[in-house]
Structure 1
Amino acid sequence: MPSSSAGTRRRKASWTCSTASWPRGGRRSCAMRDLVILGLFLALIYQTFKDPVWGVLGWVWMGVMNPHRLAYGFAHDAPWSMIIALALFLSLLLHRDKLVRFPVNGVTILLSIWILWIGVSPLLFSFYPDKEFNFWSRAFKVLLMVLVSLLVIKRRRDLDWLVMVLVVSIAYYGIKGGVFTVLTGGAARVWGPEGSFIEDNNSLALATIMTVPLIRYLQLQATKKWQRHLASAAMLLCMASAVGSQSRGAFLAIMAMSFFMWMKSRNKLPLALVVLVALPLIFVFMPDSWSERMSTIKTYDQDASALGRINAWQTAWRMALDLFPFGGGFTVAGPAAFAKYAPDPSVPLTAHSIYFQALGEHGFAGLIIFVGIFVLTWRRASAAIQRSKGVAELQWARDLAAMCQVGLIGYATGGAFLSLVYFDLPYYLVLIVVVVDRVVAKEMDDRKKVAIASGQAPRDVHSPYWERA
């Protein structure tokens, strides 16, 4: 959770921009932000009614970046996401002919079950029933829109735009944080947008790390040298920002993800040189406080924060055993649950782990469903990579599927120390993989039909010819 000082800082900034004590230029600058956001939003609404893809992109932009939180006037608290969602659903009705059939596979089936399951525990075993709805509503909207997007996102252009929106939305904070880290030697930290999943500096650090492989995908598709150099700079600054956050989870995610990105990437030598040279330099310039904090990974039994997390993990485990196969709902991180299940009831904390969060809130069944979504996504990405081997036109699909796998490694590693079960970004990686798999399947099917029609291939779809293709 973000610290109270961060919340106070943002509330103060919001109030200060509306006071008359600001210079005239400062007030004009604040108003301009609101007008820019309004102008962009109106353009998005207009484009959404022409093509529902723009509604998905607008929803992702508003949900991940929260650009309205960068304004200080009327735009700050306007219901932008609700409006863009309504526009999207109207556009779906207007453009029914542009929609694709909903893909039915293991990933989408588990996603659908997950949407239903997260509403079970809050109804049955919540410790604070009156507080459940807001948490459930937020998670439900994220997951529902992922499923809706599968009706709209259908081709490479759509995927590239989605990747670009995700990169811009998070790399904005990562690049800014990287610059601050370099200029201040790690003394300054960047916080995410108020009220978002990534408001806390640790959560933002993981998000920026997960964005790096998406930037790498764009770099691999770039045709101009300046674009590749720009992508390299963005990746380095995002990693510097994550390191500068002093998040131990982000540090472990960087280590795991760097290795997997090297394994999955084309042109391994340049990437290896960047990682082997740049990362040590970043670590060298970190202040002593960073080294001291990272050293607590080994001495966790002497760190109050780590002990508090272990206490929360044990609480989630005991609760899940008692309520099997359900959990205690979204509000388990409170005094009531800890008084009943915690080894030390005096330290009620959030789970600080996607695994124990899912376990405590939705039980063993919920944990299996949650983990299963990403396991099946990984396998589907691997299958898409394998099926498209040897097809030059699908090199982009192999790159994108591989980089999504790298991003999921970052989430699986860094998320082990953060409460981010309902964070948008990993579910958008799931969306991307499902669509990539669909695009690859369609392309290979079209190639099969052409080859059969021309008499160049056997009609048996299970023949070695198609396995090689």
Structure 2
Amino acid sequence: MRSVFLLGVFIVIVCAGASTPFVFGMGYIWVDLFSPSKVSYSILTEIPIALVMAAGCIGTYLVMDRKSPPKFNIITFLLILFALWITFTTFRAALPGHAWIKWDFAFKAVTFSIFLPYLFRTRVQLEAMLLAIVVSLSGTFMTFGVKTLMTGGGYSMNLGLLSGNSGLAEGSTLAMVVACSIPFQIYLMRHSLIFPKHWIVKLGFLGFQACSLLTILGTHARTGLISLGVLAMVYWWLAANKIRNALIVLVAAAAALSVADDSWLDRMSTVTEYNTETSALGRIVVWKWTWDYVQDNPLGGGFGVYRLSRYTQTIINEDGEEELYEVAGKAFHSAYFEVLGEHGYLGLALYLLIILLAVLSLRKTKKKTRDVPELTWARDLSTAVMTAILVHMAGSSFIGVAFQPFIYYYVAIAISLDQYVRRVYEPQKAGRGSRKSQLKNSRKAV
């Protein structure tokens, strides 16, 4: 039954996308995040659905939807440069067999983010992109959240639809990505044009947010706790009534702690015990190895170079005695050390610069739309995307997700939003009724 339902969704997307290219873009995001070929038991497992969606995006755009394309900008240029650079480092990779496997999906993640602003250009289209992200994730966090409520969750437990230990099947990654999606859920609840203003719609989004929080806690991932903490801090900082919001956060935290089981509390308590907890210590050890490696290899070692890592560190065992702890072939467990080790100083500089410029673009958009009531939604969307980026940057400090698609979606939204506001917002000019023009363009561009 699941396979038939997912096949039906696939057919609907293909049929709708044939006349509306951005629907194919939504379909690509669905394939990227929901992974229907892994969730389905049959049928879709035999269809190259990612290829179909990508070909549909490009083909239908070229044939029928090339009006008002985004202008070439510095972020797009850096994304192209970054894609070329990771290709160059792959050609000279220390482990080419492993490198080209990862290059395949990493290159797609970077380059497709360049194309997304061509598909999502209006307010409704941007909202559709957010819905594609949230709904695709909901298949996992709704299932995970409900099961957490029933069982209490647990570390390394696959309570979602996906199995394995990579992507959204990995607890730390899932917790961080779901935390990043909460600002989008709140934005959609407040500003959706696709859904009517109705209490049932609001209740549905509140249910999404509740299951998101349950999923983050249910993974027992310390990355999730850090991501949630950063999210709470950002919302507190942005709040007009900081005292009230601080009290809400404290009450929510107390409620969560009151129902948390001992295993969750025990795992969270190891956050600062880096010299006794082997998982945290392993991260520090491989980070040291990475730093030493790039001193001799400033261009990086290509994808998968962490497999060469060898390092020893002193650890305090359960008896309080010192012993040597050896790490061999441990993954980077940090997006920043991942890029540094695989693509060197230039790769890391490009990666960070892309994110920085996206944030600056969003801040500029927020400032530009602050006093334009018709663009309140754009101001709030820029805040939501900035929040998601900040949460991602904090969480990805401890997991290797530099080439997962999430951050590139946020960058693409930043580009699209900037281009939209540039297109519909006209600065006041001498002798012209700019206010009237703003209203006219804003309505036309929806």
* Change beyond 3 A, Cα 1:109–1:455: closer
Q: Which of residues 86, 103, 108 in structure 2 aligns to 1:141?
A: 108
* Change beyond 3 A, Cα 1:305–1:244: same
Question: How does the TM-score come out when normalised to structure 2?
Answer: 0.87
* Change beyond 3 A, Cα 1:455–1:86: closer
For structure 2, the residue ranges without an aligned partner over 5 or more in a row are 314-324, 437-446
Q: Give, as a single letter, the amino acid of the residue that structure 1 aligns with 2:83.
A: I
Counterpart for residue 34 of structure 2: 65
Counterpart for residue 380 of structure 1: 361
Which of 303-312 and 75-84 deviates more?
Answer: 75-84
Counterpart for residue 398 of structure 1: 379
Distance 2:396 2:435 in 1: 49
Question: How does the TM-score come out when normalised to structure 1?
Answer: 0.83
Query: Per the alignment, in what secondary structure is the counterpart of residue 71 of structure 2?
Result: coil
Matched ranges for 1:437-452 at <5 A: 437-445=418-426, 448=428, 452=431
Query: Per the alignment, in what secondary structure is the counterpart of residue 119 of structure 2?
Result: coil
Equivalent pair of 2:285/2:327 in contact (CA under 8 Å): no
Distance 2:2 2:331 in 1: 35
Matched, 1:210 2:183: no
Instruction: Using the TM superposition, give the Cα deviation of residue 105 of structure 1 relative to its aligned residue in structure 2, in angstroms.
Output: 2.4
Q: Give, as a single letter, the amino acid of the residue that structure 1 aligns with 2:382.
A: A
Matched, 1:305 2:275: no
Equivalent pair of 1:213/1:404 in contact (CA under 8 Å): yes
Distance 2:417 2:244 in 1: 26
Distance 1:40 1:153 in 2: 21
Counterpart for residue 453 of structure 1: 432
Distance 1:266 1:137 in 2: 45
Which of 115-124 and 159-168 deviates more?
Answer: 115-124
Counterpart for residue 319 of structure 2: none
Counterpart for residue 167 of structure 2: 197
Instruction: Using the TM superposition, give the Cα deviation of residue 331 of structure 1 relative to its aligned residue in structure 2, in angstroms.
Output: 1.4
Distance 2:6 2:297 in 1: 46
- CA RMSD in angstroms comes to 2.4
Q: Give, as a single letter, the amino acid of the residue that structure 2 aligns with 1:352.
A: H
Distance 1:69 1:419 in 2: 21
Distance 1:269 1:167 in 2: 30
* Change beyond 3 A, Cα 1:189–1:133: closer
Counterpart for residue 261 of structure 2: 287
Counterpart for residue 442 of structure 2: none
Matched, 1:186 2:160: no
Counterpart for residue 106 of structure 1: 74
Q: Give, as a single letter, the amino acid of the residue that structure 1 aligns with 2:309.
A: F
Equivalent pair of 2:362/2:414 in contact (CA under 8 Å): yes
Counterpart for residue 309 of structure 2: 338
Equivalent pair of 2:134/2:185 in contact (CA under 8 Å): yes
Counterpart for residue 302 of structure 2: 329
Distance 1:268 1:57 in 2: 37
Q: Give, as a single letter, the amino acid of the residue that structure 2 aligns with 1:381.
A: L
Q: Which of residues 110, 118, 123 in structure 2 aligns to 1:156?
A: 123
* Change beyond 3 A, Cα 1:77–1:308: farther
Equivalent pair of 1:312/1:342 in contact (CA under 8 Å): no
- The one-character-per-residue Cα deviations of 1:345-373 (angstroms, maximum 9, x if unpaired) are 64321000011111111111111111111
Distance 1:456 1:396 in 2: 17
Counterpart for residue 402 of structure 2: 421
Q: Which of residues 305, 308, 320 in structure 1 aligns to 2:294?
A: 320
- The one-character-per-residue Cα deviations of 1:405-424 (angstroms, maximum 9, x if unpaired) are 11111111111110100121
Equivalent pair of 1:190/1:201 in contact (CA under 8 Å): no
Distance 1:240 1:270 in 2: 23
In percent, how many aligned pairs have the same letter? 26
Instruction: Using the TM superposition, give the Cα deviation of residue 228 of structure 1 relative to its aligned residue in structure 2, in angstroms.
Output: 2.4
Instruction: Using the TM superposition, give the Cα deviation of residue 96 of structure 1 relative to its aligned residue in structure 2, in angstroms.
Output: 4.8
Which of 143-152 and 388-397 deviates more?
Answer: 143-152
Q: Which of residues 115, 133, 156 in structure 2 aligns to 1:166?
A: 133
Equivalent pair of 1:354/1:418 in contact (CA under 8 Å): yes
* Change beyond 3 A, Cα 1:372–1:63: same
Instruction: Using the TM superposition, give the Cα deviation of residue 54 of structure 1 relative to its aligned residue in structure 2, in angstroms.
Output: 1.0
Instruction: Using the TM superposition, give the Cα deviation of residue 437 of structure 1 relative to its aligned residue in structure 2, in angstroms.
Output: 1.4
Distance 1:197 1:369 in 2: 23
- The one-character-per-residue Cα deviations of 1:205-242 (angstroms, maximum 9, x if unpaired) are 11111111110111222532332233223212211211
Instruction: Using the TM superposition, give the Cα deviation of residue 86 of structure 1 relative to its aligned residue in structure 2, in angstroms.
Output: 1.4
- The one-character-per-residue Cα deviations of 1:289-339 (angstroms, maximum 9, x if unpaired) are 111111111211101111111111112111111111x111111121xx224
Instruction: Using the TM superposition, give the Cα deviation of residue 398 of structure 1 relative to its aligned residue in structure 2, in angstroms.
Output: 0.8
Distance 1:418 1:205 in 2: 11
Equivalent pair of 1:240/1:282 in contact (CA under 8 Å): no
Counterpart for residue 8 of structure 1: none
Which of 159-168 and 311-320 deviates more?
Answer: 311-320
Equivalent pair of 2:290/2:341 in contact (CA under 8 Å): yes
Instruction: Using the TM superposition, give the Cα deviation of residue 190 of structure 1 relative to its aligned residue in structure 2, in angstroms.
Output: 2.5
Counterpart for residue 243 of structure 1: 217
For structure 1, the residue ranges without an aligned partner over 5 or more in a row are 1-31, 458-469
Aligned residues: 418
- The one-character-per-residue Cα deviations of 1:245-282 (angstroms, maximum 9, x if unpaired) are 11111101110111102333678788666533333212
Q: Give, as a single letter, the amino acid of the residue that structure 1 aligns with 2:64.
A: H
* Change beyond 3 A, Cα 1:267–1:90: farther
* Change beyond 3 A, Cα 1:299–1:269: closer
Distance 1:281 1:134 in 2: 44
Equivalent pair of 2:7/2:43 in contact (CA under 8 Å): no
* Change beyond 3 A, Cα 1:71–1:293: same
Query: Per the alignment, in what secondary structure is the counterpart of residue 352 of structure 1?
Result: coil
Matched, 1:261 2:229: no
